[in-house]
Amino acid sequence: MSAEFVARTFEQSDYSSPGRYVWSHIRRHKVIAVLMVFGAFCNAALASAVPLFAGKAVDAIIKNEGLSAVRWMALAIILSQLARGGLQFIRNFSSEIFAQRIERDVRDELYVSLLGKSMTFHAFQPVGEIMARVTNDVREVNLMMSPGLNLIIGSGMFVLLPLLVSPTIHPALIATPLAFVILYIVAQFHYVSSLHRVAQQVRTSFGHMNAHLAETLDGIEVVKGTAQESQEIRKFNTLVDTVRNWFVIQGDVEARYYPILLLGLAFVGGFLHAAYLYRAGAIEAGNIVGFMGQISLFAFPVFTSIFSISRLASGHASAGRILHIINIQTDLDQNEQGYTARIEGSVTFDKVSFGYLDNKPILHDLSFSIHPGQTIAIVGQTGSGKSTLTKLINRTYDTTGGQVMVDGVNVRGWNLASLRSQISIIEQEIFLFSRSIADNIRFGKPEASMEEVEAAAHRAQAHEFIMRFPEGYETIIGQRGVTLSGGQRQRLAIARAFLTDPRILVLDDSTSAIDSATEDKIQQAIWAATQGRTTILITHRLSQIRWADHIIVLRKGHIVAQGGHEDLMKTSDSYRRIFARYEH
Query: CA-based angle 336:341:344, to the nearest 5?
Result: 135
Asked if 137 contacts 321 with a C-beta cutoff of 8 angstroms, the reply is yes
| CA angle in degrees (0–180, nearest 5) for 84-87-89 | 110
The closest of 298, 277, 303, 280 to 288, measured between CA atoms, is 277
Q: What's residue 1's pLDDT? A: 33
Whether the CB-CB separation of 396 and 119 falls below 8 Å is answered with yes
Give the pLDDT of the chain (584 residues) as one tens digit per residue.
333 445 445 557 888 888 888 888 888 888 888 888 888 899 999 999 999 999 888 888 888 877 788 888 899 999 999 999 888 888 888 888 889 989 898 988 888 888 878 777 777 777 777 887 888 889 989 999 888 888 889 888 999 999 999 999 999 999 999 999 999 999 888 888 887 778 788 878 888 888 888 778 777 777 877 778 888 888 889 999 999 999 898 888 878 888 889 999 999 999 999 999 999 989 999 999 999 999 999 999 998 888 888 888 888 888 888 888 888 876 667 777 889 999 999 999 999 999 887 778 899 999 999 999 898 999 888 888 888 899 999 888 888 899 999 999 999 999 988 898 899 888 877 788 888 999 999 988 888 899 999 998 888 888 988 999 888 999 988 766 667 877 788 888 888 888 888 889 888 875 555 556 666 666 666 676 667 789 898 877 776 777 788 999 998 899 998 888 888 888 888 888 776 665 54
Residue 303 makes CB contacts below 8 A (sequence gap 6+) with 260
Q: What is the pLDDT of residue 433?
A: 84
CB of 87 closer than 8 Å to CB of 316: no
Among 427, 406, 424, residue whose Cα is nearest residue 415: 406
For residue 312, which amino acid is it? L
Positive or negative, the Cα torsion across 140, 145, 147, 151? Answer: positive
pLDDT at 540: 74
Burial code (b: 16+ CB inside 10 Å, e: under 16) for 246-259 equals beeebeebbeebeb
What residues contact 423, with CB distance under 8 A and at least 6 apart? 343, 393, 394, 502, 503, 504, 505, 506
CATH architecture, domain 347-583:
3-Layer(aba) Sandwich (3.40)
What confidence score (pLDDT) does residue 226 get?
A: 76
Cα 4–Cα 7–Cα 9 angle in degrees, nearest 5: 75
How confident is the model at residue 529, as a pLDDT? Answer: 65
Contact 309, 188 (CB under 8 A): yes
**Three-state DSSP class for residue 352:** strand
Provide the CATH number for the domain formed by 18-327 in this structure.
Answer: 1.20.1560.10
Closest CA to 54 of 295, 297, 293: 293
Q: Provide the pLDDT for residue 453.
A: 92
Which one-letter amino acid corresponds to residue 501? D
| Helix 150-169 and helix 299-327, axial crossing angle in degrees, nearest 10 | 140
Q: What is the pLDDT of residue 30?
A: 85
Q: With contact defined as beta carbons under 8 Å apart, do 151 and 307 qualify?
A: yes
Q: How far apart are CA 52 and CA 162, in angstroms?
A: 11
- Give the amino acid at 249: I
The domain locations on the chain are: 18-327, 347-583
HEC assignment per residue over 4-69? CCCCCCCCCCCCCCHHHHHHHHHHHHHHHHHHHHHHHHHHHHHHHHHHHHHHHHHHHHHCCCCHHH
